[in-house]
Amino acid sequence: MIGSMRPIIVAGNWKMHTTPADAGELARTIAARTRVDGVIRVLCPPFVCLAAVRDAVSGPDAAAPDGSGVAVGAQDVHHEAAGAFTGAISAPMLAGLATWTIVGHSERRRDACETDELIGRKLLAARAAGLRTILCVGEQLAEREAGRASDVVDRQLRGCLAAADPVAINAGDAAAFAIAYEPVWAIGTGRNARGADAAEMAAAIRQTLAALGFPNGGADVPVLYGGSVASSNIDEFMAEPSIDGALVGGASLKPDEMAAIVARAGLTAAARAGAGA
C-alpha cells in the first residue's frame, strides 16, 4: 500500500487527566470542532472516563461530513483476558467502551517497568479481542545522541512483535495496527523531533517490519509521530509522506489545539486522496 492510501490518524492521549464529571463535555467539544473528512479521530481518556466519552461522541454532532465518527481508545490493556490481577483491565472488559488501545507508551515502560515481551503480549491480547492498537516505540535522549535511535527502535519492535503473526496482526482493515514513534526525550518537555527526524525513523520502522515479514514490506502500516505535538509544529510532521498522523498528549486536552491539528491532518488526507485517485 502506498503512502497515499494509508489512513490518517489523530489520537489524543489524555493520560491521567479529566474525571467522569468533565470528560464528556470535553470530548463533545473536541468532536464537534474536529469534524474533518479523511481523518480517523481517537480519544483515549482514563479508564474511568471511557463510558462518559463514549456517550458524548455517539451523537450526530460528532460525525464528520464523510460520516466518520470519533473512536474511543484505552490508554493501556492487560495481557491476560482474566485472572487475579488487582487493578488491571483486560481487553474483553473494554467491549462496548473502546475500540482502540495504546500499548507500550514510554510512560508505561518507565513507570510500570514494562518490557518489550510484555508489551507484545498486550498487543496480541488486544488484537485477539478485536481492538485496534497503537504500539509506541522510541529512544531516550542519550541513545539518540549516541547515534543508536534506529537500533533501539528496531530492538523494541522485534521484542514486541516476536510472537506476532505479521499477516494477522494488521488483518481486517488498514487501521487495525499502527505504530507511534515517540522519542522519549520529546514527551512532555516542549522539545520535539524535526519532521526529517520522524521521517527517518518511520523508514527505519518499516524496514524492521519488512524484515519481520509484514506484507508489502510494512508499507501499509500507519506510522504516527508523538512527542510534544501541537498546532505550532504539526505542519512539519504531516508534510512528511511517511508520517500518517499524530499521537497527541497535552494538546489533546485543548479543543483549539485539537481543532487545528485535525484540520492540518485533513489537508494531508485530502492531498493523498487526490494523489491516489
Residue ranges per domain, the chain?
A: 3-276
pLDDT on residue 171: 76
Q: Is the pLDDT of residue 21 over 60?
A: yes
pLDDT of residue 4: 52
Mean of the per-residue pLDDT values of the chain: 94
Sole residue written with cell 488483518? 171
Mean pLDDT calculated for residue range 133-143: 95
Confidence bin at 172 (pLDDT 50/70/90): confident
Supply the pLDDT for residue 3: 55
CATH 3.40.50.800 fits 3-276, yes or no: no
Per residue in 69-122, pLDDT (tens digit) is 999 999 999 999 999 999 999 999 999 999 999 999 999 999 999 999 999 999
Predicted local distance difference test score (pLDDT) of residue 7: 96
Tell me the DSSP string of 104-139: S-HHHHHHS---HHHHHHHHHHHHHTT-EEEEEE--
C-alpha span between 147 and 139 (Å, rounded)? 10
Is 105 part of the annotated catalytic residue set? yes
Residue 221: the pLDDT is: 96
Grid cell in block for residue 164: 506476532
Q: Residue 78 catalytic?
A: no
Percent of the chain at pLDDT above 70? Answer: 97
- Catalytic annotation, pick one of 107, 114, 139, 182: 182
| pTM (predicted TM-score) | 0.96
Catalytic residue (choose from 79, 105, 107, 240): 105
- pLDDT for position 5: 83
Helix (H) or strand (E) holding 216: none
What per-residue string of b and e applies to 118-138 under the rule 16 or more CB within 10 Å gives b?
bbbbbbbbbbebebbbbbbbb
Q: What is the pLDDT of residue 1?
A: 44
How many alpha carbons lie under 13 Å from residue 20 in its C-beta half-sphere? 7
Is 127 in contact with 133 (CB distance < 8 Å)? Answer: yes
* Contact indicator for 252, 259 with CB cutoff of 8 Å: no
